Amino acid sequence: MLSSESSRCIQCGSCSSACVVARITRSYNPRRILYDIKLGREPEERAIWLCLRCHTCESRCPNSVKIPDIIGVLREESLEAGRESKAVEVYLDISETIFSEGVTVLPVSGEVKEFKAESGLDLPFLPQEVRAELRKIMRSVGFEDRLKKITGGGLSGRG
């Protein structure tokens, strides 16, 4: 599936230019992932877990390459190979940012912050009480304990 689907990619960059994640972090670039697959290389592990699977890339692709499906296969392969601790770290970073800052992703630059404010995309930060309640809920369901089990206890210093 990976090679046949990725072979239709013409490396035009439409996917990356449309991708909301690629706009905020250089760690994720769908065009680069497809390029790595075409060359027979493993895409960067962390990158495959950053995709939101919103299908915006696929809708913009002139060849309708099913990039989210490719990402899904790559994630499955990662889990089967026992590399899930890297994926967990991505989710840990997101959850910690929610708990500490009240948003899922912090703006990467002043320009991004200004753009978000001007375009009405600037979401308000969660109040401290809400963040504390979220952390309490996550602890009550054993979120941190489960993650410690997956990562072999490598969560010290978080929290």
Match 């990402």 to its residue by tokens: 71
Neighbours of 88 (CB within 10 A): 18
Neighbours of 96 (CB within 10 A): 13
Neighbours of 33 (CB within 10 A): 24
pTM passes above 0.75: no
94 exposed, middle or buried (CB, 10 Å; 0-12, 13-18, 19+)? middle
Using alpha carbons, select from 115, 114, 120, 95 the residue that is nearest to residue 105: 95
Residues near 88 by Cβ (< 8 Å), separated by ≥ 6? 147, 150, 151
Using alpha carbons, select from 90, 76, 74, 89 the residue that is nearest to residue 151: 89
Task: Set out the domains of the chain in order of their start, with CATH numbers.
Answer: 2-80 (1.10.1060.10), 84-151 (no CATH)
Residues near 10 by Cβ (< 8 Å), separated by ≥ 6? 62, 63
Q: pLDDT tens digits, the chain, 159 residues: what are they? A: 787 888 999 999 999 999 999 988 888 999 999 999 999 999 988 888 889 888 999 999 999 999 999 999 998 888 778 776 666 776 777 777 777 777 776 666 677 777 777 877 666 777 888 888 888 888 888 887 777 676 665 554 444
Residues near 67 by Cβ (< 8 Å), separated by ≥ 6? 15, 30, 33, 34, 51, 57, 58, 61
Q: What is the DSSP letter of 135?
A: H
Distance between CA atoms of residues 74 and 71, nearest Å: 5
